[in-house]
Amino acid sequence: METQIHGLTEKIADARSQATGQLQALSSLGDVQEWERAWLGPKGEITTMLRSLGTLPKDERPVAGRETQALRQELETAFAPIRDRIEREALDARLEDERVDVTLPGIDPQIGAIHPVSRMIDELVEIFGQLGFQAVFGPEVETGRYNFDLLNIPADHPARDVWDTILVDDPTAEIVMRTHTSPMQARTMERIDPPVRVIVPGRTYRYEAQDASHEWMFTQLEGLAVDRNITMTDLKGVLQEMARQLFGPERRVRFRCDYFPFVEPGVDFAVDCAICSGKGCRVCKQSGWLEMGGAGMVHPNVLRGVGYDPDEYTGFAFGLGIERIVMMKYGVDDLRIFNTNDLRFLKKFATAAVS
């Protein structure tokens, strides 16, 4: 009996000297956690000792229990200030490490800019909006029916070849990347009755060799107005107003005969070069004029094709090349740069946006 109690007292003394010895050697947060786990934790030495009290004879347990609890108390009291000191030191070191000098100059954020072509579309939507046109959008993958048939270009017509069409998958199904925004003429007229006043900005695709003024993917803006008594004068007035707002009040517009199967009469229209005021320069290729697109009075067959009566309604339509307009407005001499992601080029427009 005596030996057991004696044994426990020795064990407690041992534990005390070991635990306090280790305590003095703690130096890091890891040490602190490890020590606490080993001595005071639920699976630690003191708990194990308390659990083993059950093996003592009943009348000795209270004394042994008190002594063990006293040891726990003693160790907790000795541990607390050491733990607090080490935690504080670790926190101080971390704060020093992560110190931020708020007086250092900041890093300028990289500010993006709207692409010049998108910006031009926004500008045109605004201008035509003032003239009563609403912007609508159509599919870039089209059927031959909308890209050609309903535009008065029948299957065997040679005009079908001039569009350099990119076919999607099966050639017999004639699913095409739209070669122009004109398919939206029929799509719009099928959906609504006159009066119609819409513009259609969007991407178009042609199997075409690239050069300074041609891309295989480019952007057009279609315009369509159908109502009673619409004449060529309305077309000229609308395009003249657009040119005036886009390039300045003194700009002149030129219309020359051209052929498109979906208009009669058809024209191409140009604006006198804003860069040289029509005298001739590199941008207008010394002609004094910058071609902007095709236009004309909507062909009666196109109106008939969507169920409109050409004896009751007339209309005009036009299609502009947006990249070419940006080129004219800003004197850009190679259209391919629009798709190169060249930041030096794009940043010029970023600056123009904020100035």
**φ/ψ of residue 234, rounded to 5:** -65, -45
Report the residue number, 115 or 214, with the smaller CB distance to ligand YSA.
214
Q: Is residue 320 a contact partner of residue 221, using CB atoms and an 8 Å limit?
A: yes
Q: What Å distances lie between residue 57 and 14, 61, 62, CA to CA?
A: 22, 7, 10
Report the residue number, 214 or 236, with the smaller CB distance to ligand YSA.
214
Nearest to 183, CA basis, from 302, 294, 268: 302
Report the residue number, 215 or 272, with the smaller CB distance to ligand YSA.
215
* 71 vs 73: CA distance, rounded Å: 5
Residue 98 Cβ vs ligand YSA, minimum distance, rounded to whole Å? 54
Q: Which of 263, 271, 298, 326 is catalytic?
A: 263
Q: What Å distances lie between residue 313 and 34, 189, 201, 230, CA to CA?
A: 91, 12, 24, 8
Q: Which of 39, 163, 197, 332 is catalytic?
A: 163
Residue 137 Cβ vs ligand YSA, minimum distance, rounded to whole Å? 16
Residue 227 Cβ vs ligand YSA, minimum distance, rounded to whole Å? 16
Q: Is 13 a catalytic residue?
A: no
Q: What Å distances lie between residue 220 and 64, 183, 194, 217, 348, CA to CA?
A: 95, 12, 23, 10, 23
Q: Is 256 a catalytic residue?
A: no
Q: Which of 220, 226, 253, 302 is catalytic?
A: 220
Residue 243 Cβ vs ligand YSA, minimum distance, rounded to whole Å? 14
Report the residue number, 330 or 350, with the smaller CB distance to ligand YSA.
330
Report the residue number, 85 or 256, with the smaller CB distance to ligand YSA.
256
Q: Is 206 a catalytic residue?
A: yes
Residue 200 Cβ vs ligand YSA, minimum distance, rounded to whole Å? 10
Q: Is 228 a catalytic residue?
A: no
CA dihedral over 59, 65, 70, 71, signed as positive or negative: positive
Q: Is 263 a catalytic residue?
A: yes
Chain centroid to CA 78:
61
What token pair was written down for 331?
């004197």
**Quick check: helix, strand or coil at residue 343?**
helix
Binding site for ligand YSA (CB under 6 A): 180, 182, 206, 208, 214-215, 218, 220, 222, 260, 262-263, 291, 293-296, 317-319, 321, 323-324, 335
Q: Which of 72, 197, 206, 324 is catalytic?
A: 206
List residues with catalytic annotation: 163, 180, 206, 220, 263, 317
